């Protein structure tokens, strides 16, 4: 028989809270995915997670499902991935429910940087609950990285995603890019379903006419908001034919003053006359509460948003094109210019013809 020491036991329950919280990824934005586990005498009494935006917080979900099942949770311990809120938002404060239900100890992975959520840990302590903060903090921050980045900095989490050849080309000399990578396309759709918005340049919208929707996934996922960067406003001439305008909300950043008739009766289009990448990101968070943006190209857009990228998903197909469009061909760097990313994950496709390199900005540790 293997005995786990007490620290490991606590870690195991927090790990479980993180795992169940992941079920909310892609459904709760711009709120964080959060998980909670209630334990007594080493036995799990209940689990809960934040399921959709505006829905119960993880703590409420876990507590109510125990109470509805007639389970006594007084004297128990709760493991929760984010500090319980102490505010009336879409639901009443989680702190009050924890206190009322007689939970005596709470392990919190991360404190909540959102000023509206109040000081939940202190409220619990003042009411006689034992509170421990910081267990598996790094993993829990990674789980809710979109939330932490956007709340702490006022700009969304930015992920760059490209499909390139071995020599770093995203299209051939004729502008063709279908399909540099194919097998790993499911990963792209998962990324789209997790991010709140997908951003592309007008050139990509016109050349490829993408839907930017989520497909190929087993479970139903939410489609992202589509964001188009179109300096001169050329997409409006073709608005009826473009697939991006066939579904959910589209946000266009342009210098053009667009009049209602130019929208040709297409609904759900929002226009901002802002062009600088940093201003675009700030606007997306401030005006639209977008917590995460997946930047899908083309090379001019990749070049502009590289300085703001938190992560890069580089999909590579084993092809060499020589002349063609480079991933970042609009930037000018020199051989001693640092590339501030390190490899986070590496994956080879089944047919061994493609690979994915996930890179993370170094300053994030
Ligand atoms: C928690 N548990 O499961 C979540 C929390 O929009 P509201 O009223 O639901 O409040 C959202 C804020 O509450 C969110 O920004 C974050 O600070 C906190 N989210 N808190 O204790 C949860 N999702
Ligand atoms: Zn709450």
**How far, in Å, from the CA of 317 to the mean position of ligand 2?**
44
From 83, 113, 145, the end of a domain falls on 145
Distance separating alpha carbons of residues 33 and 143, to the nearest angstrom = 7
Pairing of strands 354-361, 311-317: antiparallel
Ligand 1 nearest-atom number relative to CA 90: 8
Distance separating alpha carbons of residues 97 and 178, to the nearest angstrom = 53
- State residue 23's pLDDT score: 96
Full domain range(s) for residue 323 = 154-361
- State residue 161's pLDDT score: 97
Assigned domain for 41 exists: yes
Distance separating alpha carbons of residues 193 and 215, to the nearest angstrom = 9
Clarify whether residues 94 and 188 are in a common domain.
no
- Tell me, what CATH number does 250's domain have? 3.40.430.10
* Ordered per-residue pLDDT tens for the chain, 365 residues: 666 688 899 999 999 999 999 999 999 999 999 999 999 999 999 999 999 999 999 999 999 999 999 999 999 999 999 999 999 988 899 999 999 999 999 999 999 999 999 899 999 999 999 999 999 999 999 999 999 999 999 999 999 999 999 999 999 999 888 888 988 888 999 999 999 999 999 999 998 898 888 877 767 677 899 999 999 999 999 898 999 998 778 999 999 998 888 888 888 899 999 999 999 999 999 999 999 999 998 999 999 999 999 999 999 999 999 999 999 999 999 999 989 999 999 999 999 999 999 999 997 54
From 117, 145, 173, the end of a domain falls on 145
Q: Judge if the beta carbon of residue 57 lies within 6 A of ligand 1.
A: yes
Contacts 24+ apart (CB under 8 A), 88-94: 89/116, 89/117, 90/54, 90/55, 91/56, 91/57, 91/60, 93/118, 93/120, 93/123, 94/57, 94/59, 94/60, 94/120
Backbone angles phi and psi of 191, in degrees to 5? -60, -45
Protein residue whose Cα sits closest to atom 14 of ligand 1: 31
Assigned domain for 1 exists: no
Distance separating alpha carbons of residues 29 and 152, to the nearest angstrom = 15
Cβ–Cβ under 8 Å, residues 161 and 149? no
Reply yes or no: is the peptide bond before residue 179 cis, omega within 30 of 0.
yes
Clarify whether residues 202 and 344 are in a common domain.
yes
Clarify whether residues 135 and 203 are in a common domain.
no
Question: Which ligand approaches the C-alpha of residue 148 most closely?
Answer: 1
Clarify whether residues 132 and 169 are in a common domain.
no
From 84, 114, 145, the end of a domain falls on 145
For residue 36 the two structure tokens come to 């909670």
CA neighbor of 110 nearest in space, from 151, 75, 159 = 151
Clarify whether residues 226 and 289 are in a common domain.
yes
Distance separating alpha carbons of residues 296 and 188, to the nearest angstrom = 10
**How far, in Å, from the CA of 93 to the mean position of ligand 1?**
9
Helix residue ranges per DSSP H, 94-197: 94-100, 120-126, 137-143, 145-153, 185-194
CA neighbor of 111 nearest in space, from 120, 102, 103 = 120
Clarify whether residues 139 and 159 are in a common domain.
no
Cβ–Cβ under 8 Å, residues 306 and 328? yes
- State residue 252's pLDDT score: 97
Cβ–Cβ under 8 Å, residues 40 and 74? no
Tokens 């990824």, located at residue? 25
Clarify whether residues 333 and 206 are in a common domain.
yes
Q: Per residue in 292-311, is it b (16+ CB within 10 Å) or e — as a string? A: bbbbbbbbbbbbbbbebbbb
For residue 290 the two structure tokens come to 């977008």
CA 290 to each of CA 84, 130, 155, 178: distance values in angstroms, whole numbers, following the listed order: 23, 35, 8, 29
* Number of domains observed in the structure of the chain: 2
Clarify whether residues 132 and 160 are in a common domain.
no
CA angle 7/8/14 to nearest 5° reads 95
Per the document, the length of the chain is 365
DSSP 8-state class, residue 115: G
Cβ–Cβ under 8 Å, residues 171 and 46? no
Q: Judge if the beta carbon of residue 81 lies within 6 A of ligand 1.
A: no
Span between the terminal Cα atoms of the chain, in Å = 37
Q: For a ligand 1 pocket test, name from 79, 82, 143, 144 the mutation site with the most ligand atoms within 8 angstroms of its C-beta.
A: 82
CA neighbor of 188 nearest in space, from 210, 166, 172, 173 = 210
CA 96 to each of CA 101, 113, 120, 304: distance values in angstroms, whole numbers, following the listed order: 9, 19, 9, 46
- State residue 365's pLDDT score: 44
Q: Above 0.85 for ipTM, yes or no?
A: yes
Sheet with strand 292-295: strands edge to edge: 269-272, 250-253, 225-229, 197-201, 292-295, 157-165, 311-317, 354-361, 341-348
3-state secondary structure at position 302: helix
């Amino acid at each position: 028989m293997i005995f786990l020491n007490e620290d490991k036991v606590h870690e195991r329950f927090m790990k479980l809270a993180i795992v169940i919280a992941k079920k909310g990824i892609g459904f709760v934005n711009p709120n964080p995915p959060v998980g909670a586990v209630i334990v007594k005498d080493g036995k799990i009494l209940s689990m809960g997670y934040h399921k959709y935006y505006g829905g119960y917080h993880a703590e409420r979900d876990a507590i109510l499902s125990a109470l509805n099942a007639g389970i006594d949770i007084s004297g128990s311990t709760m493991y929760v991935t984010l500090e319980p809120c102490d505010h009336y938002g879409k639901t009443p404060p989680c702190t009050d429910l924890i206190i009322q239900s007689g939970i005596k100890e709470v392990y919190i992975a991360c404190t909540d940087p959102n000023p509206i959520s109040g000081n939940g840990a202190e409220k619990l302590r003042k009411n006689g609950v034992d509170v421990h903060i910081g267990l598996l903090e790094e993993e829990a921050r990674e789980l809710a990285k979109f939330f932490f980045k956007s709340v702490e900095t006022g700009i969304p989490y930015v992920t760059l995603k490209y499909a390139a050849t071995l020599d770093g080309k995203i299209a051939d000399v004729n502008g063709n890019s279908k399909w540099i990578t194919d097998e790993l396309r499911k990963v792209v759709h998962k990324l789209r379903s997790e991010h709140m918005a997908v951003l592309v340049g007008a050139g990509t919208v016109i050349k490829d006419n993408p839907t930017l929707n989520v497909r190929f996934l087993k479970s139903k996922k939410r489609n992202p908001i589509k964001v188009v960067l179109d300096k001169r406003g050329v997409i409006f001439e073709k608005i009826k034919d473009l697939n991006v305008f066939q579904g959910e909300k589209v946000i266009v950043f342009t210098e053009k003053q667009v009049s209602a008739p130019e929208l040709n009766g297409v609904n759900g289009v929002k226009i901002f006359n802002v062009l600088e990448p940093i201003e675009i990101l700030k606007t997306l968070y401030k005006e639209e509460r977008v917590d995460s943006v997946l930047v899908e190209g083309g090379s001019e857009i990749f070049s502009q948003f590289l300085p703001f990228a938190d992560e890069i998903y580089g999909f590579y197909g084993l092809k060499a094109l020589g002349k063609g469009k480079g991933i970042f061909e609009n930037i000018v760097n020199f051989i001693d210019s640092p590339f501030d990313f390190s490899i986070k994950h590496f994956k080879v496709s089944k047919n061994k013809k493609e690979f994915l390199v996930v890179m993370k900005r170094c300053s994030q540790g």
